[in-house]
Amino acid sequence: MPQPGDVFQPKPSAEDSFLDLLVETLEGLDEGARAQFLQQFFRTIAQIDLTEAQSSEYWRKILERRKELASSIGRNISLRTAMVDVLSSMSSLRVPVLVEYDEFKKLQINAATDALTGLYNRRLFDEYLDKELNRAKRYGQQLAVVILDLHKLKEVNDRFGHLQGDHVLQIAATTLRTTLRASDFAFRIGGDEFALLLPQTDTEQAVTLCHRVRSEYESQLLPLKLEVGVTLDFGVAVHPHDGDQKGGLLSVADQRLYALKHSTRTAPRVVPLEPEPSPLPAPAPQSPRVSPPPPVPGPSVVRQTPERRKWERVSLAGTKAHAVFAEGQRTARVIDLSYGGVALALDFEDDLPEQFNAVLHVPILPPVRVFLRKVASLRMEGGQLRLGCSFIS
């Protein structure tokens, strides 16, 4: 019950309650998203066109004016009163219209998301990357940044039309939403580009997730029968291993995306797939009627029965490519790499089992753990042992 001397407070209207809700909601938005929303809000509520910076400044003045009026008259003032006062004083008020709550939610969603896919947009990616990177630095955690590229989207558009291209993009977005963890973030940052932020994730975990996303996406496209090799290429960079600055991490991720995309789709120099021939001198010519005796390998050559590989090899000579073995104490130089296997240069005698684990560190990929089977070995000049291995799925 009111007491003598109490200041009468009228019950707020539905419009005023909505605007109070607006204030609370905007406080939870990042600065960029808030400015973008306010620009559309003022265009809708008062039919005025402002820049994002002007919209933020108007909003600040409205909130300050509300406090001043409440202090001067000793009671709460509705946001609508302060808004009319500020806009009128700045000759900006034309046709004041209060938006409905559904329209407000629509404006809020449009300010933060991509219209086609429903994922967060580029603006929010930049803001969330800053926020998550600061968090990772503060707590000494890892943060994986992934850039993804939808391969052959242009070919889909050219052959089947842009509606089908849009459908392919939407399937990619759906795949990301259903495959990622609750703590991960997915964004559409360009026409055919997506990005992921994976807090507390190392390189191996990020690469594994990307392969899972890629596989799931390709399976979701099968019913479309596109007959086009549409897939998601990716590049991964991890704080702090690959850098601690936003620009550096994005650059590393872009470089790895480009390298992975082109390493598997360009035609590198073709190298014979069998192990190199023995360095022993060739046997002397024989009479055509007499079969030459089988060559006897010298003591420096150790051969196993070679298995012909069907993949072209990319030479990694002159790079810092290397393999770290399971025990973590020994390494070997990576001579070349193919989709089917790898050749290593050992500085130690081959005491590895027939099948073994290793982590490959090569320029075209993030560090990746592989399971290898020995195929052939050859002693090279300088005493190193060349060990050819195939990947085991």
Amino acid at 83: M
Separation of alpha carbons 80 and 98, rounded Å = 9
Predicted local distance difference test score (pLDDT) of residue 251: 93
Separation of alpha carbons 257 and 366, rounded Å = 10
Separation of alpha carbons 276 and 294, rounded Å = 18
- Please name the residue ranges forming H helices in 241-292: 246-263
pLDDT tens digit sequence for 44-102: 777 788 898 988 998 999 898 888 877 766 777 778 778 877 877 766 555 444 444 45
For residues 156 and 226, the answer to whether their CB atoms sit within 8 Å is yes
Strands (E), the chain: 143-151, 185-188, 193-199, 231-239, 313-315, 322-325, 331-338, 341-346, 355-361, 368-379, 385-391
Amino acid at 297: P
Separation of alpha carbons 232 and 276, rounded Å = 36
Question: In residues, how long is the chain?
Answer: 393
Cis geometry, peptide bond prior to residue 240 (ω within 30 degrees of 0): yes
Distance of CA 205 to the CA centre of its chain: 13
For residues 238 and 218, the answer to whether their CB atoms sit within 8 Å is no
| Main-chain dihedrals φ then ψ at residue 284, nearest 5 degrees | -65, 150
Q: How many other CB atoms sit within 10 Å of the CB of residue 382?
A: 7
Predicted local distance difference test score (pLDDT) of residue 141: 94
Given a cut of 70, the residues of the chain with pLDDT beneath it are 1-18, 72-73, 90-111, 262-313, 327-328, 364-365, 393
- Domains, the chain: 14-112 (no CATH), 122-263 (3.30.70.270), 313-391 (2.40.10.220)
What pTM did the predictor assign?
0.48
Angle between helices 14-27 and 31-46 (to 10 degrees): 160
Predicted local distance difference test score (pLDDT) of residue 109: 62
48 is written with which tokens? 């005025």
What is 169-232 written as a DSSP string? HHHHHHHHHHHS-TT-EEEE-SSSEEEEEEET--HHHHHHHHHHHHHHHHHHHGGG---S--EE
123-138: b (≥16 Cβ within 10 Å) or e: bbbbbbbeebbeebee
Spell out the residues 6+ positions from residue 262 whose beta carbon is closer than 8 angstroms to its own: none
